[in-house]
Chain A
Amino acid sequence: MATVDVDLPHVKEEDQHHHGPAKGLGRWLYTTNHKDIGSMYLIFSLCMFMIGGIMALIIRAELFQPGLQLVEPNFFNQMTTMHGLIMVFGAVMPAFVGLANWMIPMQVGAPDMALPRMNNWSFWILPFAFLILLSSLFMPGGAPNFGWTFYAPLSTTYAPESVTFFIFGVHIMGASSIMGAINIIATILNMRAPGMTLLRMPLFVWTWLITAFLLIAVMPVLAGVVTMMLMDIHFGTSFFNAAGGGDPVLFQHVFWFFGHPEVYIMILPAFGIISEIIPTFARKRLFGYASMVYAVASIALLSFVVWAHHMFTVGMPLVGEVFFMFATMLIAVPTGVKVFNWVATMFRGSLTFETPMLFALAFVVLFTIGGFSGLMLAIAPADFQYHDTYFVVAHFHYVLVPGAIFSIMAATYYWLPKWTGHQLNETMGKIHFWLSFVGVNITFFPMHFVGLAGMPRRIPDYALQFADFNSMASVGAFIFGFSQLVFIYNVIQNVRVGEKATAQVWEGAQGLEWTVPSPAPYHTFSTPPKVD
């Protein structure tokens, strides 16, 4: 990222030709303001994170000890399914879109998103998608119970009736994501301030640009696969039904063609956030900016040719196994480059450890651990032992919880003073961080052990040999879950009270967003800043 030197024509602009926000509920319903929409996305995702989290705690409570104590197996399956769907589509993705809404216009010096009315739509259809999905919990036969990967024919011929609502919900979320992605691309490509060349854009903007292209490429494929399911269930086709000439394995190929890029959709913006935070608190420019961009782009491209590594046990020919193993291992190279660059940024910097930095550092360490287990999973012959065990659960929770979720928390703490105008309460932030850090590791680290020892995933009850580590994981989950109340308290307090934040907020922060006052005015950069 280039050092940004701007003149500030926007300070007075407010009283010239813009009004503040409308009052009351109408403000939120009809708003086309990127900051309002960004806030709504973030609040929505926080609500979903809590709902998905409660489901996770139900799962962990049932798994606290062997035997069935709290829930029936069928309800347990509904919980694992809904937990996955809500966390992926309801918590992580909307949170990143919310951050993009808030920060991308401010980081590229644009007055708003390129398509503000569509922006309003892409948010407001989202709550309905999840209302539909959640309402299925109260339908006869219960909510979807076939896992978030919804493999056919368990999700077609053998599904509860609510599957149709699930499909409808997925269509709406897909539409929302695609609209959001189009908007983000249009903003980044067409709305940048003069002088903000592509290779001067902050990494968060870069990672989101690439993520948005991934979304446009794969969300329609997800829509396609659920449409095929819908046709199989209601219109007598046989895409996935062997009886009519279809193939259940085809489902997995199409699903993972979406699913693997989807995994990167949930981690690339996190890379961007971390690449913003570490330089700020190291007071040193990001090491290897260009190679960071290339690394993200190559991870995105590779994500299209590795999907079948989720299917090593499905009975592929040897050549297929070897190809997907090699392609998957290759992803370790650009991912490694990113980690090395972050470490090199810290090397010979001048480090301080405010809350956002603590989350960023935890991200680097724990995401790398998740990356290592990912590399192990890529080794096809060994995957026959890991596949569909808790080792996989440990792996993807390491990249998603202390990966994606920690990056979102880091981003929130990092930009919160800019949004609310109040300096962060560092003590509370640190309490939240340490509780989360300890909780996450107690929860997910033992899962590696039980997985290797032979515990399959998605089971409501388990053999006695897995008991110790499972109760440990459950304790960790409750620590992690309840520590999020500290986070919510923190955020609410920060909105209400707190020491007045400066425009700069963090000593080492660079970028256009730090040139506007805190809190950021309702309209920023109505006249584009000049970036030299």
Chain B
Amino acid sequence: MTKAITLAISLIAAPASADWQINMNQGVTALSREIFDLHMLIFWICVVIGVAVFGVMFYSIFKFRKSKGAVAEHWHENTTVEVVWTVIPSIILIAMAIPATATLMDMYDTSEADVEIQVTGHQWKWRYQYLDEDIDFFSNLATSRQEITNEAAKNPNYLLEVDNPLVIPANKKVRFLITANDVIHSWWVPHFAVKKDAIPGFINESWVKVEEPGVYRGQCTELCGKDHGFMPIVVEVKSEADYQQWVSDQRAMKLAMAGEASKEFSMNELVAKGEGVYNTACAGCHQPNGQGIPGAFPAITGSTIATGAIDTHVDIIINGKSGTAMQAFREQLSAVDIAAVVTYQRNALGNSVGDLVQPNTIKN
């Protein structure tokens, strides 16, 4: 026992950068603070009731011991007392329900929003579409494989970092339209107190109005398959001016990417670029070494598609394969990315077909 405790203490002290947060985040919106206050109110009510009940219980345990000569009394019911301890908790519950209902009504506010973003859960990434801005991108986990498998030191935002964060303006009502592509996911940012299930075929909504610019992190909270733990959410809240700047940068980037698609690439360029695309978009299922998971996800190495006709290979990546977990990557990857990843899969991971495909021949 003592051994176990010393072991426990030494082990607990080990991880370096952990903290001892024990309570809910107050968050950064009026609503999240309202919810926090409600949480604390209920908590303290529970503490008071707990102290009273356990107080009487421990008093009985110490006072009415047989070893101290206590003799049991014979009463075993008392209607008055029983009515009292039925009625008082009921009153306390009503007292709890009133502020809770008020907060709930604030959450269901349906007034018009300034920015509207469609959030779609995919296995295992998020897609953000800005409905009025023609901005559309996927947000993937950015933590490196080495950090996850303990081959590299973990950075402070381990598992809570993405390649493309969601960007929203401060002090504007942002409305999220939440849905899913495959299975049920749930979009949660603790600091916003926003958590809503993303359900395939159906749409849900939630909203947020953040006062201070900053970076806020969350995670998927509905079990959605293998990499449920690896699809974080990062939201960058920017001032109005910075947000507008970001929007125009996004447009410029889109133009630049379109230009890139008409360029000719060498085999080495494509393979190098393809490796990055593969690790973000494919390795989750087909595994970093291309071996897949038998019975669940097929291997790329030696696969008839990755070593067969190149057009079929491109087609399955663009259009997916219905009835399987293979998604259509048309909207997720640019023409350059598709060309790169196809070329990579054919000439790496143990395959050596020797051919390549240029982005300009990939027509969406």
29 contacts between A and B (CB under 8 A): A66-B154, A142-B295, A154-B223, A248-B199, A248-B202, A249-B202, A286-B76, A287-B75, A287-B76, A288-B82, A314-B199, A325-B97, A329-B97, A337-B86, A346-B64, A352-B66, A368-B54, A369-B50, A372-B50, A380-B100, A382-B35, A382-B42, A384-B194, A387-B195, A389-B221, A453-B23, A459-B229, A465-B19, A475-B8
Assembly CA distance A315 to B23 (angstroms): 26
Is B296 an interface residue when CB atoms closer than 8 A count as contact?
A: yes
- A residues less than 8 Å from B202 (CB atoms): 242, 247-249, 315
**Looking at the complex, which one of A330, A387, A389, A460 makes contact with B93 (CB distance below 8 Å)?**
A330
- B43–A376 contact, CB under 8 A? yes
A453 touching B22 in the complex, CB below 8 Å, given contacts A471-B11, A471-B12 = yes
- A14 lies within 8 A of chain B by Cβ: no
Chain A, Cβ-Cβ closest to B50: A372
Cβ contact within 8 Å between B229 and A73: yes
Say if the beta carbon of A497 comes within 8 Å of chain B: no
Q: Which of A77, A314, A350, A449 contacts B228 (CB 8 A)?
A: A77
A9 within 8 A of B: no
Contacting pair B200 A248 (CB below 8 A): yes
Q: Specify which of A313, A333, A462 lies most central, judged by the most chain B CB atoms within 10 Å of its CB.
A: A313
Give the residue of B71, B97, B200 whose beta carbon is less than 8 angstroms from that of A350: B71
Q: Are B46 and A372 in contact (CB under 8 A)?
A: yes
Task: Give bound CA distance, A249 to B294, whole Å.
Answer: 31
Q: Which residues of A contact B186 (CB under 8 A)?
A: 313, 387-388
Nearest 5 interchain pairs by C-beta? A242-B201, A459-B229, A141-B295, A140-B295, A315-B204
**A interface: dominant SS:** helix
The verdict on A456 contacting B188 (CB below 8 Å), with A65-B15, A151-B223, A471-B15 known, is yes
Q: Which residues of A contact B200 (CB under 8 A)?
A: 153, 242, 248
| Cβ-defined partner of A381 (8 Å) among B77, B100, B217, B218 | B100
The answer to whether residues A458 and B228 also contact, given A315-B197, A384-B195, A453-B25 and a CB cut-off of 8 A, is yes
Q: How far is the CB of A159 from chain B (nearest CB, A)?
A: 10
Count, chain B residues at interface, CB 8 A: 108
Given contacts A365-B54, A384-B195, 19 further A-B contacts (CB under 8 A): A65-B15, A67-B150, A74-B226, A151-B183, A242-B202, A287-B78, A318-B108, A330-B93, A350-B72, A351-B60, A368-B54, A375-B46, A381-B104, A385-B35, A385-B190, A453-B22, A462-B159, A463-B159, A472-B12
Instruction: Closest B residue to A290 by CB, please name it.
Output: B77
CB of B96 within 8 Å of the partner chain: yes
Interface residues of B, Cβ cutoff 8 Å to A: 1, 4, 7-8, 11-12, 14-15, 17-25, 34-35, 38-39, 42-43, 46, 49-50, 53-54, 56-57, 60-61, 64-67, 70-78, 81-82, 85-86, 89-90, 93, 96-97, 100-101, 103-105, 107-108, 123, 147-150, 154, 156-160, 182-184, 186, 188, 190, 193-197, 199-202, 204-205, 217-230, 293-296, 325
Contact with B along A316-354 (1 / 0, CB 8 A): 001001100110011011001101110111111111100
What is the bound-complex CA distance between A314 and B184, given in angstroms?
10
Chain A residues 360 to 391 lying within 8 A of chain B, measured CB to CB, are: 361, 364-365, 368-369, 372, 375-376, 379-382, 384-385, 387-389
Specify which chain A residues have a CB less than 8 angstroms from the CB of B219 in the assembled complex.
454, 456, 459
List the one stretch of A90-98, A277-285, A402-410 in contact with chain B. A277-285
B1 CB to closest chain A CB, in angstroms? 8
Question: Which residues of A lie under 8 Å from residue B325 when comparing CB positions?
Answer: 158
The yes or no answer to A492 lying at the interface (CB within 8 A) is: no
Which residues of chain B are within 8 angstroms of A249 by Cβ–Cβ distance? 199, 202
Contact yes or no, A350 B70, CB < 8 A:
yes
Cα separation A73 to B294 with both chains bound (whole Å):
14
Report Cα–Cα, A141/B73, bound state, in Å: 63
Let me know if A452 is at the binding interface, CB within 8 A.
Answer: yes
